[in-house]
Amino acid sequence: MKHTFCGLDFGTTNSTIGIVKERPFLVPLEEDHSYIPSAIFIDEESGDWSFGRAAVEKYMEGHDGRLMTSLKSLLGSSLMSERTLIGHRYYAFEEILEKFLGMIKSSAERSLCHPIHDVVVGRPVHFKNDAPNTDHLAQEMLTRILRTIGFDRIVFMYEPVAAGMVFYAEIPQENHLCLVVDIGGGTSDFSVIQVEPPRGRDASAGFKVLASNGIPIAGNDFDQDISIRLVMPHLGLGSTIKSFSNPAIPFPKHFFYDLSSWRLINRLYNNNTILSLKDLVHVSNDKVRTARLLKVIQERHGHAINKGVEDQKKTLSDAGPSLLNLEYIASDLRIPIGSGEINQAIHNSLAKVVTMAERTMKDAGVHAHQIDQVLFVGGSTKLPLVQESIMSLVPEGKKVIKEAFGSIGLGLTLEAAKRFGSTPALRGGDIR
């Protein structure tokens, strides 16, 4: 029987798509990788598009063009109605998202050898927190894009709930009260789910969502915190410029905040910014450091810096600090970064994330001591301090670490099988 449905996890940092061939599985999107970085590179000369790891490699190799990451953060923003000039052509941001998601859909269709019409797609509990109507607007935009690339029936599901479904399908048939912690690149989302042995024919009857909550603070914000605290001072953050009336005016900070944001880096790469920085360096009281900033913008090293910071975060260990090598900016620029420095840098952002976890349990009407399972998914939950901070809320809970980049996609695929497939639900050994 042909299955014409899929589960789609369009993530801020990485994306997956799942289908069913006898059992649910994630489609390999790049060689043997079941997830693909949510990134696009458009070559300025040829106009060719590259996706995922290939896109990042093109940029790192120095090809002329535009690298765009954190594509999901465009949803619900004013940028979605705008166009951006790349090479000799203007591209609508909606077109860019259509290209990326269309590529993922085509990969799944090649694996199935027939078209896919129906999708269960994940979404954060809140896309952004800057306007009450942003969630509706973001989902509406994503729906329009999904219809454009060929989906007919579209169902949305909270991402932490999808991860909880995988947990429910794999555990023994016992009673559990579980806090799902999904911290990715763009949002931190939480659900409290109650699971119990299914009764009757519906295998999903024992799965109940008590509360879900989220906050648009996550891994990308941690990266920015680390960069602002540990890297940007080496490029002039905290320095001053002189004028006729004031010998020590603070150097404008917005350059550093844009440079340390995956989403905003590209808007620095223009002649107006370079001319402004040249003027500022001329009147700077610290020409060595601010000249580095100018070089970074001129040579478009922003993504390379952020990737270096992200890699340092991912390889955190107790073995002591390691060096972030920025010799491509200055021959002697190597910055020691250790777990202590990173923990201090992300402290304030993480505190807001932890507060949201507490609020979710309160909304669910449960006390922390009642939680017996804490399910961690999403790449940013690999940070030791993140796990320690969440587990301190639920001292009696058992920590369950799931595959960081696949659980949500599998959960969405399970829900798609339930809604669009011939069987009402799948459990246990049916998942791969």
pLDDT tens for the chain, residues 1 to 432 = 577 899 999 999 999 999 998 888 999 998 889 999 999 999 988 889 999 999 999 988 888 888 999 899 888 887 777 888 887 888 899 999 999 999 999 999 998 889 999 999 999 988 876 555 788 889 999 999 999 999 999 999 999 999 888 877 776 667 889 999 999 998 999 999 998 876 654 555 578 899 999 999 999 999 999 999 999 999 999 999 998 889 999 999 999 999 999 888 988 999 999 999 999 999 999 999 999 999 999 999 999 999 999 989 888 755 567 899 999 999 999 999 988 999 999 999 999 999 999 999 999 999 999 999 999 998 899 899 999 999 999 989 999 887 767 889 999 999 999 899 865 444 333 333
Residues in the chain: 432
Here the tokens at position 358 are 């507490």
Alpha-carbon distances, residue 219 vs 107, 188, 222, 382 (angstroms): 27, 9, 5, 10
Alpha-carbon distances, residue 395 vs 212, 213, 369, 391, 400 (angstroms): 21, 21, 7, 6, 14
Here the tokens at position 50 are 């590259």
Please tell me what DSSP assigns to residue 407. H
Residue 432, pLDDT score: 31
Helix/strand/coil for 61 = coil
Residue in the block written with tokens 């009696």: 396
Here the tokens at position 364 are 């669910």
- CA 216, CA 252: separation in Å to the nearest integer? 26
Q: Which of 121, 20, 73, 187 is nearest to 412 (CA)?
A: 121
Residue 207, pLDDT score: 80
Is the Cβ–Cβ distance between 117 and 92 less than 8 Å?
no
Rg of the chain, C-alpha, whole Å: 23
Is the Cβ–Cβ distance between 33 and 409 less than 8 Å?
no
Burial environment of residue 354 by CB neighbours within 10 A (0 to 12, 13 to 18, 19 or more): middle
- CA 309, CA 423: separation in Å to the nearest integer? 46
- CA 114, CA 2: separation in Å to the nearest integer? 8
The residues spanned by each domain of the chain are 5-159+407-430
Helix/strand/coil for 392 = coil
Question: Which CATH fold topology does 5-159+407-430 show?
Answer: Nucleotidyltransferase; domain 5 (3.30.420)
- CA 119, CA 244: separation in Å to the nearest integer? 63
Rounded to a whole number, what is the distance in angstroms from the first to the last CA of the chain?
19
Residue 256, pLDDT score: 98
Amino acid present at 96:
I
User: How many CB atoms lie under 10 A from the CB of residue 115?
Assistant: 12
Is the Cβ–Cβ distance between 162 and 411 less than 8 Å?
yes
- CA 71, CA 39: separation in Å to the nearest integer? 7
- CA 56, CA 384: separation in Å to the nearest integer? 27
Residue 176 CA, chain-centre distance (Å), reads: 28
Instruction: Identify the bridge partners of residue 193 per DSSP, sorted by sequence position.
Output: 178, 209
Helix/strand/coil for 56 = helix
Residue 201, pLDDT score: 47
- CA 256, CA 232: separation in Å to the nearest integer? 6
Residue 32, pLDDT score: 85
Helix/strand/coil for 335 = strand
